[in-house]
Amino acid sequence: MSRVVLQQKVLSENDRIAAHLRERFQQNNVLCVNLISSPGSGKTTLLERTLEVLPHDARVAVLTGDIQTENDAARLKRFGFPVKQITTGGTCHLDARMIERHLEDWKLEDLDILFIENVGNLVCPSSYDLGEAAKVVILSVTEGEDKPLRYPSIFFKSELMVLSKTDLLPYVPFNLEEAEENARRVHPGMEIVRVSCQTRIGLSSWLKWLDGKRNAYLQLKAEPVA
């Protein structure tokens, strides 16, 4: 069996499981958001800032992926919400079967939002549907403005780009407008928010997007089928 045929078979099986997950999320009114970025762009910190401002009774959970260690899960569990670490043992992305397996003992009817923090990588995660309602790509100002052009697949598939670590702009040679222009060259309809998790500036824009996405998701489900 050729490598191409094997890859097609793997992706086909992943898509089958992802479709089943998406159906389960929809049936239980769970908004699933898949966070993707390069290593060190600030995914975990963004989740920390998100969880710390949510009401304690918010129906939110997190699956966080990493190649090794459970450090991210330990950081996120401090806020009292359900968190599980998915350790891939070398795989550079999460896949739908991993998500399905780690959801086995969680009741989806008790959740409103499920965050999936993917493995730090801009290439492999773009090929794997996890049943999410939206992909969010995070680009920090410590990276290059040309990242959307170098990794177009994930920027094209993401509904939102979070420009993170904006508090570092005085100290790094990064052009926000150029980065945003490059992202919209790849994905003209992409929404963009600028965030500093250290100063909390822009965090309200991220939370507003999340709330709007949740409301739109519920409204879409409520619309009668023609």
Q: How far is CA 99 from the centre of its chain?
A: 13
Strands 31-37 and 134-140, bridge-based pairing: parallel
pLDDT in tens, 129-182: 999 999 999 999 999 999 999 999 999 999 999 999 999 999 999 999 999 999
pLDDT in tens, 153-163: 999 999 999 99
Query: Which candidate, 89, 84, 156, 166, places its Cα nearest to that of 122?
Result: 156
Q: What does the pLDDT read at residue 91?
A: 87
Q: What does the pLDDT read at residue 112?
A: 97
203 contact partners, CB below 8 Å, separation of at least 6: 49, 50, 53, 195, 196, 197
Distance in Å from the first CA to the final CA of the chain: 44
Q: Give residue 7's identity as a one-letter amino acid code.
A: Q
Per-10-residue mean pLDDT of the chain, 226 residues long, equals 59 94 96 97 97 96 91 95 93 94 96 96 94 98 97 97 98 97 97 98 97 88 58
Q: What does the pLDDT read at residue 7?
A: 61
Instruction: Tell me the domains of the chain and their CATH numbers.
Output: 13-222 (3.40.50.300)
Q: What does the pLDDT read at residue 151?
A: 97
Q: What does the pLDDT read at residue 39?
A: 94
Q: What does the pLDDT read at residue 72?
A: 92
Burial of 107 (0-12, 13-18, 19+ CB in 10 A): exposed
State how far the Cα of 78 lies from the Cα of 226, in Å rounded to an integer: 45
Considering the entire predicted model, what is its pTM? 0.92
Tokens of 180: 């945003």
